[in-house]
Amino acid sequence: MSKDYYKILGVDKNASQSDIKKAFSKLAHKYHPDKKGGNEEKFKEINEAYQVLKDKEKRQKYDQFGSDFSSGFSGAGANPFGGGFSWQDFSRQGFGGFNNSEAGFDFGDIGDIFGDFFGGSRRSSRQSHKGRDIQTEVDISFEESVFGTEKHLRLNKKIVCDKCNGKCGSNSQTCKKCNGSGRVTVQQQTFFGNFASVTICPDCDGTGNIFKDTCNKCGGAGSINGTEEIKVKIPAGISDGQTIRLSGKGESGSKGSVSGDLYIIIRVSKSSKFERKGDDIFSTIKLKYSQLIKGDKILVDTIDGEVKLKIPELTSSGKVFILKGKGVSKLNSRGRGDHHVKVILDVPKYLNKDQKKLIEELEKRGL
């Protein structure tokens, strides 16, 4: 089936060459497969259309015969690049002197947009050598999750070299290749034309300095494998599965770069007495029949210890009493939730003769 190349590029059949280039530039930027959210198949389709419509002779034959007339295109229909094409070939394509101004595309900072496509980068050396983020888990009790706590961790990871203090060596000299900037400008030929992009200096690894005497302990990396003890403050009200992020407490970066982050997953142990739902605590207490009928004053276990609770007479089994402010501390806020106490009848496993007689007597009295 013949393809509508004009529709693919989103232009009119009478579109000028300039309009066709503008449309291709916009769509290529959007769907490039090396870009996040790109679409390789869509990009191939766009490029196929452009390779035909940009060429005056091919466009005339396409307008006359459609894309199925492959003999008129010298193989450009299915693959305008010919066989064995790969995305790496883009960097070697000039496409007949694609002019930036004619395309109507803003190439003012092309390095930021397409730098990652062709090996360029404008990221600082500190970012590129940033230490690895690491993750660990910490177990705490139910009570510690309510009131908060402090834990001491011992982590095996990359740490700053204790011999050179992360400086990588001594007798540093300004890198001659980049003049101490840590970055160099390189010329690249891409399918959009020739562009200059900024990348990390290969001689100094982006540091701007070259050490005459490299540290013999870290080999110039600035970091080594070691152990670090970290004190972690766990806030009151934290829940099971929540994560604490400690910036800069991950692995040490190389070449004096910033360290990664440490992510701590909190695991809260279950309580044999209490259940948590949000900021509220729930518990159940069993009472005798006489306590529910006559009423009573009982001691109830809470997270703060025992408190007195008055049970009114003729309380139904399943009744819930609320102890205000006896729940979980609100995370990163003031106040606490409530404690919900549910009272249920403690049905005995067996009755003696006297108890059975009393039950029968109560039954006769309509109770």
Do the Cβ atoms of 263 and 134 come closer than 8 Å?
A: yes
Residues 236 and 356 in one domain: no
Q: Which residues contact 137 (CB under 8 A, 6 or more apart)?
A: 264, 265, 266, 267
DSSP reduced 3-state for 294? helix
What does the pLDDT read at residue 332?
A: 81
Same domain, 246 and 288: no
Strand order, beta sheet including 339-345: 275-277, 280-287, 339-345, 320-323
- Quick one: how far is CA 7 from the chain centroid? 38
**Domain count along the chain:** 3
Domain presence at residue 121: no
How far apart CA 230 and CA 72 sit, in angstroms, is 71
Could you read off the pLDDT of 191-200 as tens digits, one per residue? Answer: 556 667 788 8
Residue 185 near residue 168 (C-beta atoms within 8 A): no
Helix (H, G, I), strand (E, B) or coil at 286: strand
Domain of 199? 134-268
Residues 147 and 256 in one domain: yes
One domain for residues 150 and 230: yes
Q: Is 339 exposed, middle or buried (0-12, 13-18, 19+ CB in 10 A)?
A: buried
Report pLDDT for 292.
93
The predicted pLDDT at position 270 comes to: 94
Choose one of 56, 88, 105: the last residue of a domain.
105
Domain boundary among 268, 297, 325: 268
Count other C-beta atoms under 10 Å from residue 16's C-beta. Answer: 10
pLDDT at position 309: 96
Last residue of a domain, one of 105, 122, 156: 105
| Helix spans in 313-352 (H) | none
Describe the crossing of helices 40-53 and 17-31 by its angle, rounded to 10 degrees: 170
Q: What pLDDT shows up at residue 134?
A: 93
What gap in Å lies between CA 111 and CA 128, rounded to an integer? 16
The full length of the chain comes to 367
Residue 259 tokens, joined: 């360290």
Judged on CB neighbours under 10 Å (0-12, 13-18, 19+), 192 is: buried
In the chain, what's the furthest Cα-to-Cα distance? 112
CATH number reported for the structural domain that contains residue 192 in this entry = 2.10.230.10
Q: Please check whether residue 146 lies inside any domain of the structure.
A: yes
Do 219 and 316 belong to one domain? no
Distance of CA 9 to the CA centre of its chain: 35
249 and 313 part of one domain: no
Residues 161 and 259 grouped into a single domain: yes
Give, as one character, the DSSP assignment of residue 133. P
pLDDT at position 298, please?
95
Provide block-wise average pLDDT over 10 residues at a time, the chain (367 residues). Answer: 84 90 86 74 87 87 68 41 41 38 36 42 54 93 95 94 83 84 77 69 78 83 91 94 93 84 95 95 94 94 95 95 95 91 91 84 77
Asked if the structure places residue 122 within a domain, the reply is no
Kind of pairing between the strands at 134-140 and 262-268: parallel
In this structure, what are the phi and psi dihedrals at residue 57, rounded to the nearest 5 degrees? -65, -45
Other C-beta atoms lying within 10 Å of the C-beta of residue 15? 16
